[in-house]
Structure 1
């Protein structure tokens, strides 16, 4: 009888371990250029996370982060000021974890029932880790390209199929993601109606490149 109990406990342990392993791999996100993350978000802010509270709802609960908003870049039509950010408490369900009183974060998210929700599939980064081009993109450049389409290229050959597309080739680099285009370029709609990659330079902030570059 004692041996049978040990076997049952062992089986339960293995089963629970498999469940935990499956849960930790449950969150899967497609790669997204920061411009797409900006354009597809309801809210884009820079904020410092100053507190958190676990809300007892759902199987794992929801984490409510209290933030001190520094600047809003997008979302004025949704709300004027963000005080709380909601995310799933479980990382396996794409919940994101923020450090308290450590960084100013760029936070992107969607609005549901008057609340801002974000997760691992959203673009959330410490502000100091963003490149200068990404900061300028968040400030104004990305908005200029929200009518453009950033087309990922995973395997060669890749081609643009319309004038509003920019070919995103970061995934082809052995350096991986985030790559050079993600950190330094924005896909901007030009006066002629077509879209092309754009990089502002320190001295001359008007450099337009071909839609297949870099």
Structure 2
């Protein structure tokens, strides 16, 4: 139990650091948990583990002030993390949503789950990218399968207020926050920022070859 608690304390500390950086998004179900707006590609690139899995069980571990929830998962596919572990059986998260614990439904949906590995265990939370698989766009699924990894050396630069500019060739300007449609926006759902042969990064829409387009870094 101590090993789980130590990992969770480090995870919560990292999440609190993120919350202090600004541009915060509040979870309506957990007012005390706020997270930086993150493009799915950044979430993929910063995660140790990315899997598609069905949650088949859960157990509350008596660890910390609110406990730790251990979810048992049936892994369908691993997209990232082969160097960490070949198969994920359990996902750990804080039992309290106010501390960024994430809630999964049991024996109901397949989820895309991203997380970090601490002491041989996979931890996730509300600030990680976790979503029901059927809610992902086709471009997001293609990104997870292939395109996102091509852009992990790129920087997705968030634009919250105009004017915004890219300042280096490895940047893609992310303007979803300016849209009145809210988050997640069009770029989050339909574009990847990948590196071209010339070394420049640009937005790429990962759809069928007949409709495939690449665009410059400022106007997706």
Query: TM-score, normalising length from structure 2?
Result: 0.85
Task: Tell me, in whole angstroms, the C-alpha distance in 2 between the residues paired with 1:144 and 1:206.
Answer: 16
Match of 1:200 in 2: 206
Distance 1:143 1:86 in 2: 25
The structure with more radius of gyration: 1
The aligned counterpart of 1:18 is: none
Q: 1:106-121 residue pairs with structure 2 within 5 A?
A: 106-121=112-127
Equivalent residue for 2:165?
Answer: 159
Aligned-pair Cα RMSD in Å: 1.2
Of 132, 147, 150, 1:144 maps to 150
CA distance change for structure 1 residues 46 and 24 in 2, over 3 Å: closer, same or farther?
Answer: closer
Instruction: Give the distance between the partners of 2:104 and 2:119, measured in 1 at CA.
Output: 23
- Is 1:36–2:42 an aligned residue pair? yes
Kindly indicate which of the two structures has a greater share of residues assigned to strand: 2
Contact between 2:111 and 2:132, CA under 8 Å: does it hold in 1?
Answer: yes
In structure 2, list runs of 5 or more residues that go unmatched: 1-28
2:51 match: 45
CA–CA distance in 1 between the matches of 2:133 and 2:157? 26
Q: CA deviation at 1:42?
A: 0.0
2-side partners of 1:203 and 1:138: how far apart? 18
SS of residue paired to 2:157: strand
2:78 matches 1:78: no
Task: Render the CA deviation track for 1:130-172: whole Å, top value 9, x for unaligned.
Answer: 0000000000100000000000000000000000000000000
Q: CA deviation at 1:24?
A: 4.2
**Equivalents in 1 of 2:32, 2:101: separation in Å?**
11
Q: 1:133 aligns with which of 123, 133, 139?
A: 139
Unaligned runs of 5+ in 1: 1-22
Aligned residues: 192
In the TM superposition, structure 1's runs of 4+ consecutive aligned residues that sit over 6 Å from their partners are: none
TM-score by length of 1: 0.88
Shift of 1:26: 1.9
Cα distance in 2 between the residues matched to 1:91 and 1:81: 26
CA 1:205 to 1:139, structure 2 compared with 1: closer, same or farther past 3 Å?
farther
